[in-house]
Amino acid sequence: MTNLASDTAKTTKNLARQAAKQIAREPFEILKTASRQVSGMEAGEPAVQEEPQTSDVQKPKPEEVALGQKIKEKDIRLIQALETEIKEIREKKAREEEQEKQIQEGEEAQKEEQPKALVEPAAKKGRKLFGFGQKGQAEKLQTRVEKPIPPSG
């Protein structure tokens, strides 16, 4: 049983090698048969060739010529419009970059010109304790808030 399996493995390897050698020797043979395979024709069927119509190919109709010219003119105008738009966009980007550079240079110049700001010390808190005496009483009366009385009911 193992003998049969090893024989088939050897034969498949040999067949693969033979096919690879044949393809290497005759690379265009595959292309010859590929056209038949793709078109669905068998080897025995005759190839049907269409006859080109010489009168239509040689003389295009005047309507087609006029349409072709209109299309070409329209294409040329569209291409020119797109080129001008691209040019405007590039100029706009260049202006924006120039402005950004100027702004950055201005900020750097301001930083260099301005001296460092000094921090002022905070004032000391007052030493009043509770607001004794007449002066404290007057301040309490001024800041007094009336409390709302809830409705009875």
pLDDT band at 56 (very low <50, low <70, confident <90, very high): very low
Torsion of CA 52, 55, 59, 65, to 10 degrees: -70
User: What pTM value is reported for the model?
Assistant: 0.33
Q: What is the pLDDT of residues 123-136, one digit of tens each?
A: 777 666 666 677 77
- In 25-143, beta strands by DSSP E: none
Closest to 72 measured CA to CA, from 61, 80, 60: 80
Closest to 38 measured CA to CA, from 30, 26, 49, 46: 30
Q: What is the average pLDDT value for the chain, to the nearest integer?
A: 76
Among 32-41, 68-77, 141-150, which stretch is predicted with the lowest mean pLDDT?
32-41
Instruction: Reply yes or no on whether the pLDDT at 109 is more than 80.
Output: no
